[in-house]
């Protein structure tokens, strides 16, 4: 599939590579599986036509992995000595191979094979980095394990990298361009794809294999002929969580099923709130898998709720893990019916997040102007209220209502939105934005966008 975007990351890699004119340079790249770390590095080397040693760290016996490394060296250099251990291997690289870039993919797997290589790498790097001109790139998929190796102060390689790239999902418009190139032209279908697979490019490569033009036809093919949907959650997370994966999975499943507050999550998994606090903190700060939302207009509020950051994991915990019995019995027709029946309600919540991503991108391009954006909810004398999104700039606030429905009456929605806005503590200027799949009637006192308007704004 065509390579999309990542221009800033490619530019950063080039600057780091150019450092080798004066000294050695070490680059660390992290990011969830399938986000495009390996493709990014190889694209950089390919564009610059730079020969390099490419070592994939698969989980196997040390002797077998060293044989793989010997084969790569022999193929690229024409010869390779035999290595007895990782220290021999690194000694060879650092003593003789400072003229060729070195790439270790899935570097964190060394921790499972022989953690001593981390210390050996530190030893050789510190010894040779000044006198030679190395360009070494280390990438890894498991965020927690990579932090353990590089970001904790006690870790052997702490503070030694020149560039640390935490590779993020692609922005909505890049995904829409990618889908367009893959034959998905309908904007509503693009929204569905993005709302389930997010900005993870690897998932969209399967469109080349199945050649489907709608989200649900693609989903059916994926369920029947690829294991990626069935096992992806475990593949992404079990290695991260280790022996504690059961409670982490339970927490994520509860959040995916709209148990979003500390008490709701604890009740859903039959635990005390004090018991799960440390797990929530780890999911948020260490693994970067969840975020804690607070009402945007209440800076000092203690109210908060949790969401799963990753679109696909949210979908997987909602529909796949929840119906694991259907997966195990390969009853995919029943599973698809469950997904189709539950999808409209599920996507109503997800569409709010998709819209938020789109609005953030429009803000970055100058189509909109705001400093902050987020949900607002609370209680008043008239009862509880919730506003999908509020965007603020100075003394102006844009109140936003999002509807994943057709033929929305914008005038009626505006009346409700204005009433809820009055329940907030916002004293500044108020403006209103209504976004829906399609609009039956637009409100004269609000900006109203349907999917056609969003498509136009994103493509201009």
Rounded-to-integer distance, Cα 262 and Cα 426, Å: 27
Position 203 scores a pLDDT of 92
Exposed, middle or buried, 407 (CB in 10 Å: 0-12/13-18/19+)?
A: exposed
Write out pLDDT tens, residues 205-254: 988 888 888 999 999 888 888 777 888 888 778 878 888 889 999 999 99
Q: Which of 58, 138, 71, 151 is nearest to 101 (CA)?
A: 138
Are 314 and 260 spatial neighbours (Cβ–Cβ below 8 Å)? no
Q: What is the pLDDT of residue 381?
A: 75
Query: Apex CA 367: angle with CA 365 and CA 372, to 5°?
Result: 80
CATH 1.10.10.10 fits 175-350, yes or no: yes
Cα 204 to Cα 6, 145, 229, 243, 276, distances in angstroms = 16, 27, 13, 32, 35
Name the burial class of residue 168, with classes exposed (0-12), middle (13-18) and buried (19+) by CB atoms within 10 angstroms of its CB. exposed
Phi, psi of 54, deg, nearest 5: -120, 105
Percent of the chain with pLDDT over 70: 100
pLDDT of residue 233: 82
Is 30 in a helix, a strand, or coil? strand
What pLDDT is stored for residue 408 in this prediction?
95
Q: Can you give the pLDDT at residue 287?
A: 86
**Does 7-166 match 357-459 in CATH topology?**
no
The superfamily in CATH containing domain 7-166 is P-loop containing nucleotide triphosphate hydrolases (3.40.50.300)
The domain 357-459 is placed in CATH, from the list 3.40.50.2020, 3.40.1350.10, 3.50.50.60, 2.60.40.1080, at 3.40.1350.10
Contact 61, 194 (CB under 8 A): no
Per-residue model confidence (pLDDT) at position 145 = 75
* Number of CB atoms found within 10 A of residue 291's CB: 13
Report domain extents, the chain.
Answer: 7-166, 175-350, 357-459
Which helix (H) or strand (E) is 103 found in, with range?
Answer: strand 102-105
What is the pLDDT at residue 100?
96
The stretches in the chain having pLDDT less than 70 are: 152
């Amino acid at each position: 599939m065509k390579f999309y975007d990542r221009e800033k990351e490619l530019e950063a890699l080039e600057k780091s590579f150019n450092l080798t004119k004066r000294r050695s340079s070490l680059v660390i790249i992290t990011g969830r599986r399938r986000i495009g770390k390996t493709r990014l590095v190889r694209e950089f080397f390919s564009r610059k036509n730079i020969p390099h040693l490419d070592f994939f760290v698969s989980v196997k016996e040390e002797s077998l992995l060293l044989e793989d490394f010997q084969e790569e060296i022999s193929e690229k250099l024409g010869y390779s000595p035999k290595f007895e251990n990782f220290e021999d291997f690194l000694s060879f690289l650092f003593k003789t191979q400072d003229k060729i870039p070195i790439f270790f993919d899935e570097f964190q797997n060394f921790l499972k094979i022989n953690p001593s290589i981390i210390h050996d790498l530190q030893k050789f790097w510190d010894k040779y980095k000044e006198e030679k001109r190395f360009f070494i790139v280390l990438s890894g998929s498991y965020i927690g394990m990579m932090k353990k190796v590089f970001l904790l102060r006690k870790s052997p390689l702490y503070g030694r990298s020149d560039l640390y790239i935490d590779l993020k999902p692609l922005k909505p418009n890049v995904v829409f361009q990618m889908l367009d190139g893959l034959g998905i032209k309908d904007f509503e279908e693009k929204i569905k794809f993005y709302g389930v697979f997010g900005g993870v490019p690897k998932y969209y490569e399967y469109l080349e294999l199945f050649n489907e033009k709608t989200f649900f036809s693609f989903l059916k093919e994926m369920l029947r002929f690829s294991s990626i949907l069935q096992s992806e959650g475990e593949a992404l997370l079990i290695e991260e969580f280790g022996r504690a994966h059961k409670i982490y999975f339970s927490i994520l499943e509860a959040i995916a099923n709209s148990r979003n507050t500390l008490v709701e999550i604890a009740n859903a998994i039959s635990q005390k709130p004090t018991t799960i606090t440390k797990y929530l903190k780890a999911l948020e700060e260490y693994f970067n898998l969840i975020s804690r939302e607070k009402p945007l207009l209440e800076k000092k509020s203690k109210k908060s709720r949790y969401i799963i950051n990753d679109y696909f994991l949210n979908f997987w915990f909602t529909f796949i893990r929840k119906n694991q019995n259907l997966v195990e019995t390969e009853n995919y027709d029943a599973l698809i019916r469950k997904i189709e029946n539950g999808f409209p309600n599920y996507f109503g919540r997800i569409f709010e997040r998709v819209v938020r991503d789109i609005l953030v991108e429009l803000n970055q391009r100058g189509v909109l102007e705001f400093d902050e954006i987020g949900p607002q909810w609370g209680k008043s004398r008239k009862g509880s209220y919730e506003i999908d999104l509020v965007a603020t700039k100075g003394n102006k606030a844009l109140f936003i209502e999002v509807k994943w429905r057709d033929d929305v009456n914008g005038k009626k929605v505006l009346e409700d939105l204005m009433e809820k806005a009055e329940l907030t503590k916002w004293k500044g200027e108020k403006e209103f934005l209504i976004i829906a799949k399609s609009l039956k009637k637009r409100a004269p006192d609000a900006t109203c966008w349907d999917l056609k308007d969003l498509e136009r704004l994103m493509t201009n």
